[in-house]
Structure 1
Amino acid sequence: MKKSLLLVLLCISSSVFAQTCLESITQTTPSTNFVDNADGTVTDSKLGLMWMRCSLGQSWQNNSCTGDASRLTWQQALVAAHGYAYASQQGWRLPNVKELASITEGQCVRPAINIEIFPNTPSDDFWTSSPSVTDPQRAWVIAFFNSSNSLKEKNLFVYSRLVRTAN
Protein backbone atom coordinates (compact mmCIF):
# COMPACT_ATOMS: atom_id res chain seq x y z
CA MET A 1 0.00 0.00 0.00
CA LYS A 2 2.71 2.48 0.99
CA LYS A 3 4.82 1.69 -2.08
CA SER A 4 1.91 2.17 -4.50
CA LEU A 5 0.89 5.44 -2.81
CA LEU A 6 4.47 6.69 -3.04
CA LEU A 7 4.59 5.76 -6.73
CA VAL A 8 1.34 7.63 -7.42
CA LEU A 9 2.62 10.69 -5.56
CA LEU A 10 5.91 10.63 -7.46
CA CYS A 11 4.09 10.40 -10.80
CA ILE A 12 1.75 13.25 -9.90
CA SER A 13 4.49 15.45 -8.49
CA SER A 14 6.79 15.01 -11.50
CA SER A 15 4.01 16.03 -13.87
CA VAL A 16 3.18 19.24 -12.00
CA PHE A 17 6.72 20.60 -11.89
CA ALA A 18 7.07 23.68 -14.04
CA GLN A 19 10.15 25.70 -14.79
CA THR A 20 11.12 27.94 -11.90
CA CYS A 21 13.24 31.05 -12.53
CA LEU A 22 14.70 33.60 -10.15
CA GLU A 23 14.41 37.05 -11.68
CA SER A 24 17.07 38.35 -9.26
CA ILE A 25 19.70 36.26 -11.10
CA THR A 26 20.97 37.55 -14.45
CA GLN A 27 19.95 35.40 -17.42
CA THR A 28 22.81 33.34 -18.81
CA THR A 29 21.16 32.46 -22.15
CA PRO A 30 18.85 35.33 -23.12
CA SER A 31 16.85 34.85 -26.31
CA THR A 32 18.72 37.79 -27.83
CA ASN A 33 21.86 35.58 -27.97
CA PHE A 34 20.16 33.33 -30.53
CA VAL A 35 19.11 33.78 -34.14
CA ASP A 36 16.05 31.76 -35.10
CA ASN A 37 16.81 30.09 -38.43
CA ALA A 38 13.09 29.29 -38.94
CA ASP A 39 13.86 25.61 -39.59
CA GLY A 40 14.01 24.06 -36.13
CA THR A 41 17.50 25.38 -35.46
CA VAL A 42 18.96 28.43 -33.75
CA THR A 43 22.40 29.97 -34.01
CA ASP A 44 24.21 31.19 -30.92
CA SER A 45 25.50 34.52 -32.23
CA LYS A 46 28.16 34.76 -29.50
CA LEU A 47 29.68 31.30 -29.88
CA GLY A 48 29.00 30.58 -33.58
CA LEU A 49 27.21 27.32 -32.88
CA MET A 50 24.01 26.11 -34.53
CA TRP A 51 21.75 24.06 -32.27
CA MET A 52 18.84 21.76 -32.95
CA ARG A 53 15.97 23.27 -30.95
CA CYS A 54 14.61 19.81 -30.11
CA SER A 55 16.15 16.81 -28.43
CA LEU A 56 16.83 13.74 -30.57
CA GLY A 57 13.57 11.89 -31.06
CA GLN A 58 11.42 15.03 -31.00
CA SER A 59 10.10 16.89 -34.05
CA TRP A 60 9.91 20.63 -34.68
CA GLN A 61 6.25 21.44 -35.45
CA ASN A 62 4.26 24.65 -35.00
CA ASN A 63 7.17 26.43 -33.28
CA SER A 64 7.57 23.74 -30.62
CA CYS A 65 9.21 20.39 -29.98
CA THR A 66 6.69 17.58 -30.13
CA GLY A 67 6.89 13.90 -29.30
CA ASP A 68 9.08 12.08 -26.85
CA ALA A 69 12.80 12.62 -26.71
CA SER A 70 14.86 9.45 -27.20
CA ARG A 71 17.16 8.03 -24.55
CA LEU A 72 20.32 6.51 -25.97
CA THR A 73 23.52 5.05 -24.63
CA TRP A 74 26.61 7.21 -25.17
CA GLN A 75 27.75 5.04 -28.11
CA GLN A 76 24.26 5.11 -29.66
CA ALA A 77 24.20 8.91 -29.38
CA LEU A 78 27.59 9.22 -31.08
CA VAL A 79 26.48 6.88 -33.87
CA ALA A 80 23.14 8.70 -34.29
CA ALA A 81 24.97 12.03 -34.66
CA HIS A 82 27.43 10.70 -37.25
CA GLY A 83 26.16 11.69 -40.68
CA TYR A 84 22.96 13.18 -39.24
CA ALA A 85 21.19 15.51 -41.68
CA TYR A 86 18.73 18.07 -40.35
CA ALA A 87 17.35 21.37 -41.67
CA SER A 88 19.31 20.88 -44.91
CA GLN A 89 22.53 20.89 -42.90
CA GLN A 90 25.30 18.34 -42.40
CA GLY A 91 28.00 18.21 -39.74
CA TRP A 92 25.76 17.62 -36.72
CA ARG A 93 27.51 16.14 -33.71
CA LEU A 94 27.18 15.54 -30.01
CA PRO A 95 28.40 18.71 -28.24
CA ASN A 96 31.36 18.67 -25.89
CA VAL A 97 30.78 19.43 -22.22
CA LYS A 98 31.60 23.16 -22.54
CA GLU A 99 29.35 23.60 -25.57
CA LEU A 100 26.36 21.90 -23.95
CA ALA A 101 26.90 23.79 -20.69
CA SER A 102 26.78 27.03 -22.70
CA ILE A 103 23.02 26.62 -23.31
CA THR A 104 22.07 26.00 -19.69
CA GLU A 105 20.09 28.79 -18.06
CA GLY A 106 21.50 29.51 -14.61
CA GLN A 107 18.44 31.57 -13.69
CA CYS A 108 16.08 28.59 -13.99
CA VAL A 109 15.56 24.96 -12.94
CA ARG A 110 13.25 22.16 -14.16
CA PRO A 111 14.45 22.68 -16.90
CA ALA A 112 17.59 24.79 -16.63
CA ILE A 113 17.36 26.04 -20.22
CA ASN A 114 15.74 28.92 -22.12
CA ILE A 115 12.40 27.28 -22.94
CA GLU A 116 11.55 29.96 -25.50
CA ILE A 117 14.55 28.84 -27.57
CA PHE A 118 14.56 25.14 -26.57
CA PRO A 119 10.92 24.23 -25.80
CA ASN A 120 9.89 20.96 -24.15
CA THR A 121 13.42 20.04 -23.08
CA PRO A 122 13.36 17.17 -20.58
CA SER A 123 14.60 18.16 -17.11
CA ASP A 124 17.19 15.41 -17.13
CA ASP A 125 20.73 14.46 -18.17
CA PHE A 126 22.02 15.01 -21.72
CA TRP A 127 25.11 13.35 -23.19
CA THR A 128 28.18 15.26 -24.23
CA SER A 129 30.89 13.91 -26.51
CA SER A 130 33.43 14.38 -23.68
CA PRO A 131 34.60 11.08 -22.20
CA SER A 132 36.02 10.76 -18.71
CA VAL A 133 39.79 11.14 -18.68
CA THR A 134 40.17 8.70 -15.79
CA ASP A 135 37.39 6.15 -16.38
CA PRO A 136 36.86 4.76 -19.90
CA GLN A 137 33.40 3.48 -18.91
CA ARG A 138 32.02 6.99 -18.22
CA ALA A 139 31.30 10.24 -20.10
CA TRP A 140 30.18 13.73 -19.10
CA VAL A 141 26.53 14.73 -18.99
CA ILE A 142 24.83 18.06 -18.37
CA ALA A 143 21.73 17.95 -16.19
CA PHE A 144 19.02 20.24 -17.51
CA PHE A 145 17.31 19.88 -14.15
CA ASN A 146 19.70 22.32 -12.49
CA SER A 147 22.66 23.08 -14.85
CA SER A 148 25.02 20.67 -13.10
CA ASN A 149 27.45 18.30 -14.79
CA SER A 150 28.62 14.85 -13.82
CA LEU A 151 30.06 11.62 -15.13
CA LYS A 152 27.69 8.80 -16.06
CA GLU A 153 28.19 5.21 -17.14
CA LYS A 154 28.24 5.11 -20.95
CA ASN A 155 25.73 2.24 -21.02
CA LEU A 156 22.98 4.33 -19.38
CA PHE A 157 20.13 5.66 -21.51
CA VAL A 158 20.32 9.47 -21.59
CA TYR A 159 18.91 12.27 -23.79
CA SER A 160 20.87 14.02 -26.56
CA ARG A 161 20.78 17.33 -28.45
CA LEU A 162 22.97 17.96 -31.51
CA VAL A 163 25.08 20.95 -32.49
CA ARG A 164 27.19 22.02 -35.46
CA THR A 165 29.55 24.84 -36.19
CA ALA A 166 27.59 27.64 -37.89
CA ASN A 167 28.70 28.69 -41.36
Structure 2
Amino acid sequence: MLTALLILPVQAQTCLATGNETAPDEDFTVQGGNEVLHHPTNLIWQRCAVGQTWDGSVCAGEATRFDWQSALQYAHEASQDDKLGWRLPNVKELASITERLCVRPSVNTSIFHATPADDFWTATPSTQDPDRAWVVAFFNASHAVKRKDRFVYIRLVRTNVE
Protein backbone atom coordinates (compact mmCIF):
# COMPACT_ATOMS: atom_id res chain seq x y z
CA MET A 1 0.00 0.00 0.00
CA LEU A 2 1.36 3.39 -0.96
CA THR A 3 1.00 6.30 1.42
CA ALA A 4 0.96 9.81 0.06
CA LEU A 5 2.58 12.56 2.05
CA LEU A 6 1.09 15.99 1.54
CA ILE A 7 3.36 18.86 2.46
CA LEU A 8 1.61 22.19 2.78
CA PRO A 9 3.56 25.43 2.63
CA VAL A 10 3.71 27.48 5.81
CA GLN A 11 1.55 30.51 5.27
CA ALA A 12 2.65 33.91 6.46
CA GLN A 13 0.37 36.48 8.02
CA THR A 14 -1.74 38.35 5.48
CA CYS A 15 -3.08 41.84 6.24
CA LEU A 16 -5.30 44.31 4.43
CA ALA A 17 -3.42 47.30 3.08
CA THR A 18 -6.04 49.80 4.24
CA GLY A 19 -8.24 50.15 7.28
CA ASN A 20 -7.88 50.98 10.95
CA GLU A 21 -5.65 48.70 12.98
CA THR A 22 -7.40 47.15 15.97
CA ALA A 23 -4.19 46.26 17.86
CA PRO A 24 -1.53 48.81 16.83
CA ASP A 25 1.93 48.89 18.45
CA GLU A 26 1.08 52.09 20.36
CA ASP A 27 -1.66 50.24 22.29
CA PHE A 28 1.04 48.11 23.98
CA THR A 29 4.03 48.66 26.26
CA VAL A 30 6.49 45.84 26.79
CA GLN A 31 6.85 45.29 30.53
CA GLY A 32 10.01 43.24 30.22
CA GLY A 33 10.46 39.68 29.16
CA ASN A 34 7.27 37.82 28.40
CA GLU A 35 4.79 40.52 29.49
CA VAL A 36 3.09 43.38 27.68
CA LEU A 37 0.60 45.99 28.93
CA HIS A 38 -2.44 46.58 26.72
CA HIS A 39 -3.39 50.21 27.42
CA PRO A 40 -7.04 50.18 26.21
CA THR A 41 -7.93 47.42 28.71
CA ASN A 42 -5.21 47.95 31.35
CA LEU A 43 -4.44 44.22 31.16
CA ILE A 44 -1.02 42.59 31.20
CA TRP A 45 -0.65 39.73 28.73
CA GLN A 46 1.91 37.02 28.36
CA ARG A 47 3.53 37.61 24.97
CA CYS A 48 3.97 33.89 24.30
CA ALA A 49 1.32 31.21 24.21
CA VAL A 50 1.67 28.75 27.09
CA GLY A 51 4.35 26.20 26.23
CA GLN A 52 6.48 28.71 24.35
CA THR A 53 9.31 30.61 26.03
CA TRP A 54 10.50 34.16 25.53
CA ASP A 55 14.14 33.98 24.41
CA GLY A 56 14.75 37.73 24.61
CA SER A 57 13.49 38.54 21.14
CA VAL A 58 10.86 35.97 20.08
CA CYS A 59 8.62 33.24 21.42
CA ALA A 60 10.46 29.97 20.92
CA GLY A 61 9.23 26.40 21.05
CA GLU A 62 5.85 24.82 20.58
CA ALA A 63 2.69 26.07 22.21
CA THR A 64 0.81 23.53 24.33
CA ARG A 65 -2.85 22.61 23.90
CA PHE A 66 -5.18 22.04 26.85
CA ASP A 67 -8.74 20.89 27.34
CA TRP A 68 -10.81 23.62 29.00
CA GLN A 69 -10.69 22.26 32.56
CA SER A 70 -6.92 21.72 32.33
CA ALA A 71 -6.52 25.26 30.97
CA LEU A 72 -8.38 26.68 33.98
CA GLN A 73 -6.28 24.55 36.33
CA TYR A 74 -3.03 25.61 34.64
CA ALA A 75 -3.98 29.29 35.02
CA HIS A 76 -4.87 28.77 38.69
CA GLU A 77 -1.54 27.07 39.37
CA ALA A 78 0.37 29.82 37.52
CA SER A 79 -1.35 32.40 39.71
CA GLN A 80 -0.49 30.45 42.86
CA ASP A 81 3.15 30.03 41.80
CA ASP A 82 4.00 33.72 41.42
CA LYS A 83 1.07 35.41 43.21
CA LEU A 84 0.55 37.81 40.29
CA GLY A 85 -3.02 36.82 39.46
CA TRP A 86 -2.59 35.09 36.09
CA ARG A 87 -5.84 33.73 34.67
CA LEU A 88 -7.57 32.76 31.47
CA PRO A 89 -9.07 35.83 29.80
CA ASN A 90 -12.78 36.15 29.18
CA VAL A 91 -13.93 36.23 25.56
CA LYS A 92 -14.10 40.04 25.38
CA GLU A 93 -10.62 40.44 26.84
CA LEU A 94 -9.04 37.96 24.44
CA ALA A 95 -10.86 39.45 21.47
CA SER A 96 -9.46 42.88 22.42
CA ILE A 97 -5.95 41.90 21.31
CA THR A 98 -6.93 40.51 17.91
CA GLU A 99 -5.82 42.38 14.82
CA ARG A 100 -8.86 42.21 12.55
CA LEU A 101 -6.99 43.55 9.51
CA CYS A 102 -4.87 40.38 9.48
CA VAL A 103 -5.31 36.61 9.24
CA ARG A 104 -3.03 33.65 9.91
CA PRO A 105 -2.57 34.90 12.66
CA SER A 106 -4.97 37.74 13.43
CA VAL A 107 -2.72 39.39 16.01
CA ASN A 108 -0.02 42.04 16.16
CA THR A 109 3.00 39.80 15.51
CA SER A 110 5.52 42.43 16.61
CA ILE A 111 3.98 42.17 20.09
CA PHE A 112 2.73 38.56 20.18
CA HIS A 113 5.43 36.56 18.39
CA ALA A 114 4.79 33.13 16.90
CA THR A 115 1.12 33.04 17.91
CA PRO A 116 -0.47 29.88 16.51
CA ALA A 117 -3.14 30.75 13.94
CA ASP A 118 -5.69 28.66 15.79
CA ASP A 119 -8.22 28.67 18.64
CA PHE A 120 -7.39 29.93 22.14
CA TRP A 121 -9.56 29.13 25.18
CA THR A 122 -11.30 31.81 27.19
CA ALA A 123 -12.71 31.45 30.69
CA THR A 124 -16.19 32.21 29.34
CA PRO A 125 -18.46 29.16 29.40
CA SER A 126 -21.35 28.79 27.00
CA THR A 127 -24.67 29.83 28.52
CA GLN A 128 -26.49 27.44 26.15
CA ASP A 129 -24.46 24.23 26.62
CA PRO A 130 -22.55 23.27 29.81
CA ASP A 131 -20.18 21.11 27.72
CA ARG A 132 -18.89 24.10 25.70
CA ALA A 133 -16.86 27.28 26.26
CA TRP A 134 -15.87 30.25 24.12
CA VAL A 135 -12.69 30.40 22.05
CA VAL A 136 -11.15 33.18 20.01
CA ALA A 137 -9.67 32.01 16.73
CA PHE A 138 -6.37 33.69 15.97
CA PHE A 139 -6.76 32.42 12.43
CA ASN A 140 -9.26 35.15 11.56
CA ALA A 141 -10.31 36.86 14.85
CA SER A 142 -13.63 35.01 14.99
CA HIS A 143 -15.32 33.73 18.16
CA ALA A 144 -17.08 30.42 18.68
CA VAL A 145 -18.08 27.91 21.30
CA LYS A 146 -16.18 24.62 21.35
CA ARG A 147 -16.57 21.41 23.30
CA LYS A 148 -14.60 21.65 26.55
CA ASP A 149 -12.89 18.32 25.85
CA ARG A 150 -11.12 19.72 22.75
CA PHE A 151 -7.45 20.60 23.02
CA VAL A 152 -6.86 24.30 22.41
CA TYR A 153 -4.05 26.84 23.04
CA ILE A 154 -4.03 29.35 25.90
CA ARG A 155 -2.49 32.74 26.68
CA LEU A 156 -2.68 34.07 30.24
CA VAL A 157 -3.61 37.57 31.35
CA ARG A 158 -3.70 39.53 34.59
CA THR A 159 -5.05 42.87 35.70
CA ASN A 160 -2.54 45.70 35.94
CA VAL A 161 -2.61 46.75 39.59
CA GLU A 162 -0.23 49.70 39.30
- Letter in structure 1 aligned against 2:149: N
d(CA) in 1 for partners of 2:3 and 2:16? 34
Match of 1:21 among 15, 33, 51: 15
What secondary structure is seen at the aligned counterpart in 2 of 1:82?
helix
d(CA) in 1 for partners of 2:47 and 2:142? 20
Match of 1:77 among 46, 64, 71: 71
- Are the equivalent residues in 2 in contact too, given 1:83–1:91 (CA < 8 A)? no
Residues 1:138 and 2:132 aligned together: yes
Alignment of 1:58-73 (within 5 A): 58-73=52-67
Residues 1:31 and 2:57 aligned together: no
**2:44 counterpart residue number:** 50
**1:12 counterpart residue number:** 8
d(CA) in 1 for partners of 2:94 and 2:3? 37
C-alpha displacement of 1:25? 1.7
- Larger % of helix: which? 1
d(CA) in 1 for partners of 2:56 and 2:94? 25
What secondary structure is seen at the aligned counterpart in 2 of 1:117?
coil
C-alpha displacement of 1:2? 9.5
**1:127 counterpart residue number:** 121
Q: Name the TM-score, length of structure 1 as normaliser.
A: 0.91
**2:91 counterpart residue number:** 97
- Letter in structure 1 aligned against 2:119: D
Gaps of 5+ in 1: none
How many residue pairs match? The answer is 160
**2:147 counterpart residue number:** 153
d(CA) in 1 for partners of 2:26 and 2:149? 37
CA RMSD of superposed structures (Å): 1.7
Q: Name the TM-score, length of structure 2 as normaliser.
A: 0.93
